[in-house]
Amino acid sequence: MRYLKPLMDQNFLEYASYVIKDRAIPDILDGLKPVQRRILHTMREMDDGKFSKVANIVGNTMKLHPHGDASIGSALIVMANKEYFIEKQGNFGNILTGDPASAPRYIEARLTPLAKEALFNSELTEFSDSYDGRNKEPIALPAKLPVSLLFGAEGIAVGMSTRILPHNFNEVVEAQIAFLNNESFRLFPDFMNGGLLDTGEYEDGSGKVRVRARIEITDEKILTVRELPFGVTTESLIQSVQDAVNKGKFKLSSIDDFTAEEVEIELKAVRGMDAEKLLKLLYAFTQCEVSISVNMLLIQGNQPVQLTVSEVLRQNTIRLKDILRRELLLSLEQARRKWHMRRMEMYFIGEKIYQKLEACDSYEEALEVVEKAVLHIESVLPFPVEKDDIEKLLTIQIKRISRYDQQESQKELDKLKVTISSLNSSLKDITRYTIKYLEKIKDKYGPDYPRRSKIKSFDEIRAQDVAEKQKVGWDRKEGFLGLNVKSGTTSFFCSAYDKMVVIRKDGSYQVIRVPEKQFIGKNAICVEKLNSETVHNVVYWEGATRVCYAKRFRVEKFILDREYNLFPEKKGAKILHLSQGDGILLEVSFVPTPRIRKSNDIYILDDLAIKGIQARGNKVSSKSVQSVKVVTNKAQAEQEALTLEKAQPEVEPLLPVEKAQAERELLLSEEKAQPMQEPLLPEEPEN
């Protein structure tokens, strides 16, 4: 076993790393997953301007991809439906209805002009061996656009996942231009199927968005769905509406789907429900509104890194500058090489160096003659004269020499000088050159990608706020509570999302969902809808000694259906008073004892601090309490207490012996306490 564990650890680590880097998470450099990169590279190699069968593309990609044809075909269809880099022909499925694509042998695809312009440059692409070593595949394409922001991505790896939402082409390019101009920018998602988008919690790609279907009120009783939320199809939306109807969330007269090229789902309300109310219920209980959490995880430096939209755009824009600079350097090198060769050709033909070759007896001698002649202009050439240059001069055909035009050759050299000067100028201000490139690509392709999702701030519709209220009955005598309890004297109006607090005489309590019918016990003294802001007041006997405690609390933390206690469980413990809110005054009556000076007192519950629900509370009095009742008028209660106090006969002070005897009598009377009276509880609410 000690040898097996390190082996398993190492193998699992390698597997996890492979899944994260080479399958599920896109690379920040080109924004592509490996399978997407292999598909695009294969399509570039196959490209001849014509459509190719998807089955043929899949087969050629399998030379680079070790996971079979199913994943390749699925990835190609997903990319094609994003409409940026793959032009499709045939049935590639329907993102609105969720219909699948036809088999790969029936559909065709080719690269779009945008893909050819923005993704490929073989001279700037670094290659590595394929999985079997027979072919070469690109490590990362020299993408000139932040593909991860345009495409979006979803992937699940070992212990991590990524979810990047797609963004609008024009807005992404404008944000890149703003970054290069040192201006602020903000980017928000844009979905192909449109819908309404609330970006209040997007947080630069680290939060979430709420997306709603665009629904029109076409009649007093008819709603028509025109656009869908991201990730929702007509089938899944209709199913969610039907489920809500089956669960009794709302009622519909009919659901009709007329979707063709555009979404059109017609919902008819029943009699008695207006369209505005139905609209809120649809957003609350169906997929007409969805919340999408974002997790922007990308591979950066061979490691998964959590990034924001701004960071991804900045890094891709900096890489774009580097790619354009390298392309300029390549173009400059090619232009200077061309000028170098054309200048030598002009001298070779213009000075008739070729005539000297007639006297040469060997090829080596011919090379030497030409080299000596060309060395006269080496000072004006951008590169040293090399053997390859001489050999190229010797391969010039007589036909070309006979038709050589000195003036046309000079014009070509002048044009090359202008090109070289322009390239040098662009290299000196690469930022301005990058901005011009982005403006050009936006003008060329931007009109094809208008914003489709409308950004709009909308209020959150909570299901519990719009849910239908139903009558909940409480049969005190039989101890049942629920929607199906019809008998009894107490009723409430609750929704399916409300919770109820049940408190019993012995101090036990529960928080439960609104039941169909549930036995809560015949000793329940309080049933109400849960409100964490409600302050409860309770006065209770701790035990047989009738020592009384009072406390104020809120019901805030709980586990549903679990039974708790308001006070420590002791024999004889019982609630004397239970109420809610402020301004409660109590008249506390004490157990009669010899020589008692005061038989009752006023207790103000508002003087107590609000404590935790498990707290013991404050002792009401050191005397034993007989009963408690509510007093409505504080001034009247204080006056009555003062009158009672004055009415008590004066008692002469006791001698020490008499005092000890009185204390023994008091203790004896407490032990022989009368049978407990039922507590005085607040009046029961009316129906």
Q: What pLDDT is stored for residue 315 in this prediction?
A: 96
CA-CA distance, 385 to 378, in Å (whole number)? 7
Would 660 be classed as within a structural domain?
Answer: yes
The pTM score is 0.75
**330 and 432 belong to one structural domain:** yes
Least confident residue range of 50-59, 86-95, 555-564: 555-564
Q: What pLDDT is stored for residue 637 in this prediction?
A: 52
pLDDT(288) > 70: yes
The catalytic residues are 106
pLDDT in tens, 503-554: 988 888 999 988 888 888 888 888 888 888 889 999 988 877 788 889 899 8
* Domain enclosing residue 555, as ranges: 531-671
Residue 397 binned pLDDT confidence (cut-offs 50, 70, 90)? confident
**269 and 396 belong to one structural domain:** no
Would 171 be classed as within a structural domain?
Answer: no
Higher model confidence: residue 597 or residue 205? 205
Percent of the chain with pLDDT over 70: 90
Distance of CA 312 to the CA centre of its chain: 17
**361 and 420 belong to one structural domain:** yes
Higher model confidence: residue 50 or residue 591? 50
pLDDT in tens, 303-350: 899 999 999 999 999 999 999 999 999 999 999 999 999 999 999 998
pLDDT in tens, 338-386: 999 999 999 999 888 888 888 888 999 999 999 899 888 988 999 999 9
The beta strands (E) that lie in 542-582 are given as 548-553, 564-565, 574-580
Burial label for 41, CB within 10 Å (0-12, 13-18, 19+), is buried
**281 and 347 belong to one structural domain:** no
Q: Residue 373's closest CA among 401, 353, 349? A: 353
**653 and 611 belong to one structural domain:** yes
Tokens coding 654: 């006791």
pLDDT(135) > 60: yes
**348 and 270 belong to one structural domain:** no
For residue 673, count other CB atoms closer than 10 A to its CB. 14
Q: What pLDDT is stored for residue 639 in this prediction?
A: 56
Q: What pLDDT is stored for residue 582 in this prediction?
A: 87
CATH, residue 262: 3.30.1360.40
CB 468 within 8 A of CB 480: no
Report the pLDDT averaged over residues 618-631. 85
Would 47 be classed as within a structural domain?
Answer: yes
Would 304 be classed as within a structural domain?
Answer: no
Distances (CA, A) of 587 to 525, 594, 633, 645: 20, 21, 11, 14
Least confident residue range of 6-20, 99-113, 268-282, 620-634: 6-20
For residue 79, count other CB atoms closer than 10 A to its CB. 22
The per-residue pLDDT of the chain, averaged, comes to 86
**284 and 342 belong to one structural domain:** no
Q: What pLDDT is stored for residue 481 in this prediction?
A: 87
Would 541 be classed as within a structural domain?
Answer: yes
**Residue found under tokens 């409308």:** 454
φ, ψ of residue 411 to 5 degrees: the values are -60, -40
Give how many domains the chain has, as a whole number.
4
pLDDT(445) > 60: yes
DSSP helix/strand/coil, 546: coil
Q: What pLDDT is stored for residue 221 in this prediction?
A: 87
Distances (CA, A) of 617 to 123, 538, 547, 586, 610: 80, 9, 12, 16, 9
Would 383 be classed as within a structural domain?
Answer: yes
**288 and 371 belong to one structural domain:** no
Q: What is the DSSP letter of 20?
A: I
pLDDT(650) > 50: no
Q: Residue 546's closest CA among 486, 620, 607? A: 620
* 321, amino acid identity: K
Report the pLDDT averaged over residues 463-469. 64
- Which of 184-198, 497-511, 571-585 holds the top average pLDDT? 184-198
**280 and 364 belong to one structural domain:** no
Q: Which of 126, 143, 160 is the last residue of a domain?
A: 143
Would 490 be classed as within a structural domain?
Answer: no
Tokens coding 12: 């699992």
Tokens coding 210: 């709420």
C-alpha torsion 442→445→446→452, nearest 10: -150
Strand 600-604 and strand 585-590: the pairing is antiparallel
Q: What pLDDT is stored for residue 489 in this prediction?
A: 67
Would 201 be classed as within a structural domain?
Answer: no
**334 and 286 belong to one structural domain:** no
CATH, residue 65: 3.90.199.10
SS (H, E, C) 93-148: CCCCCCCCCCCCCCCEEEECHHHHHHCCCHHHCCEEECCCCCCEEECCCCCCCCHH
pLDDT in tens, 471-498: 888 888 888 888 888 776 677 787 777 8
Q: H helices then E strands: how many in the chain?
A: 18, 33
pLDDT in tens, 247-277: 878 889 999 999 988 999 999 998 888 888 8
For residue 592, count other CB atoms closer than 10 A to its CB. 11
Report the pLDDT averaged over residues 62-90. 94
Q: How many CA atoms lie within 13 A of 328 on its CB side?
A: 22
CATH, residue 332: 1.10.268.10
**97 and 139 belong to one structural domain:** yes
**278 and 339 belong to one structural domain:** no
Residues in the chain: 687
